[in-house]
């Protein structure tokens, strides 16, 4: 069993980005710039935003955080996004999710310029990705691809089962791994927690790669996978004792795996890293560097 160490991969990729940025700055260009919008004081969101800002600094970027109270009106958020869309010194924008219930999340996502949509959730980018065209790809799914690439895990021609069909992870990773991107050309089965267990077992036991993102601690157990499987655990679940665990029963499943992501220390770091990659591409596009 080998660990797909997201921390090690992220550090390597961020160092590469920082080197490129230093070269651009030395040539007289400004630094890449990302803007993060945070609504309210949701503790996990505060932590995620802090990680993004810290990583952006390591990558050599400039970043700024715009805070709004929980009670902000949707129209005010939309007006700020329109302002950022018009700002030529901002390369990428992130609206930290989730948003308060009185705000239509899709309205906010749709308002972001596709050229600055480094989260990769705008329908234009999602559609282009689906068609195999150049686009910003959703960060968690893109981060998984980068992790597999970094460790040279074979994907082409493999049977991959994705458990969980969210727009953030399940749907985009199924598209990326089945399409011919930097990594892909796999046979992909997309399932979810409503899939009858007998059918799910039939798929996962034949899978070369299993990716799970359902938010249920220990959902994937030893009897669900074959020897030598590659297992990507996207779950982040806090138990009553405070321990963070994934969607995989790690101790019982890991001995059967050829590769497995730890939780924490696996996919989470790659999500932030993918955001930095997208920001760099947005910056390169702005200056016709790509």
Give me the half-sphere count of Cα atoms (radius 13 Å) on the Cβ side of residue 46.
Answer: 5
Residue 91 a catalytic site member: no
Show the CA angle centred on residue 100, arms to residues 96 and 102, nearest 5°. 135
Number of Cβ within 10 Å of residue 226's Cβ equals: 13
Q: 3-state class of 212 per DSSP?
A: strand
**123-138: b (≥16 Cβ within 10 Å) or e:** eebbebbeeeeebbbb
Residue 96 a catalytic site member: yes
Q: Which of 91, 116, 117, 119 is catalytic?
A: 119
Q: How far is CA 114 from the centre of its chain?
A: 17
Q: Which residues contact 35 (CB under 8 A, 6 or more apart)?
A: 63, 64, 65, 66, 84, 90, 92, 93, 94
Nearest CA to 129 among 139, 150, 192, 81? 139
Encoded tokens for 167: 């727009």
Show the CA angle centred on residue 208, arms to residues 178 and 137, nearest 5°. 35
Q: What are phi and psi of 86, to 5 degrees?
A: -85, -10
Q: Which of 91, 96, 171, 247 is catalytic?
A: 96
Q: Which residues contact 94 (CB under 8 A, 6 or more apart)?
A: 34, 35, 36, 37, 52, 118, 119, 275
Residue 119 a catalytic site member: yes
Number of Cβ within 10 Å of residue 27's Cβ equals: 9
Q: 3-state class of 47 per DSSP?
A: helix
**37-58: b (≥16 Cβ within 10 Å) or e:** bbbbebeebeebbeebbebbee
Q: Which residues are catalytic?
A: 52, 96, 119
């Amino acid at each position: 069993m080998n660990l797909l160490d997201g921390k090690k991969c992220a550090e390597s990729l961020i160092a590469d980005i920082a080197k490129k940025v230093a070269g651009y700055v030395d040539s007289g260009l400004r630094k890449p710039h990302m803007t993060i919008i945070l609504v309210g004081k949701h503790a996990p969101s505060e932590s995620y935003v802090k990680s993004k800002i810290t990583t952006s600094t390591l990558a050599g970027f400039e970043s700024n955080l715009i805070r709004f109270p929980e009670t902000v009106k949707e129209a005010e958020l939309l007006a700020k996004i329109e302002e950022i869309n018009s700002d030529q010194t901002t390369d990428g924008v992130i609206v930290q999710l989730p948003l308060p219930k009185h705000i239509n999340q899709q309205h906010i996502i749709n308002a972001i310029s596709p050229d600055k949509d480094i989260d990769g959730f705008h329908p234009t980018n999602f559609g282009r990705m689906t068609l195999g065209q150049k686009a910003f790809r959703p960060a968690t799914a893109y981060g998984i691809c980068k992790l597999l690439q970094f460790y040279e895990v074979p994907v082409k021609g493999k049977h991959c089962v994705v458990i969980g069909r969210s727009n953030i992870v399940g749907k985009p990773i199924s598209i990326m791994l089945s399409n011919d991107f930097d990594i892909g050309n796999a046979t992909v089965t997309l399932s979810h927690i409503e899939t009858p267990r007998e059918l799910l077992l039939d798929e996962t036991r034949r899978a070369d790669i299993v990716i799970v993102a359902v938010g249920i601690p220990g959902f994937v157990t030893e009897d669900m996978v074959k020897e030598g499987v590659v297992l990507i655990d996207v779950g982040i679940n806090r138990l009553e004792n405070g321990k963070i665990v994934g969607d995989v029963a790690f101790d019982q499943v890991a001995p059967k795996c050829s590769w497995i992501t730890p939780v924490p220390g696996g996919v989470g770091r790659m999500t932030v890293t993918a955001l930095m990659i997208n920001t760099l591409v947005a910056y390169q596009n702005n200056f016709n560097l790509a």
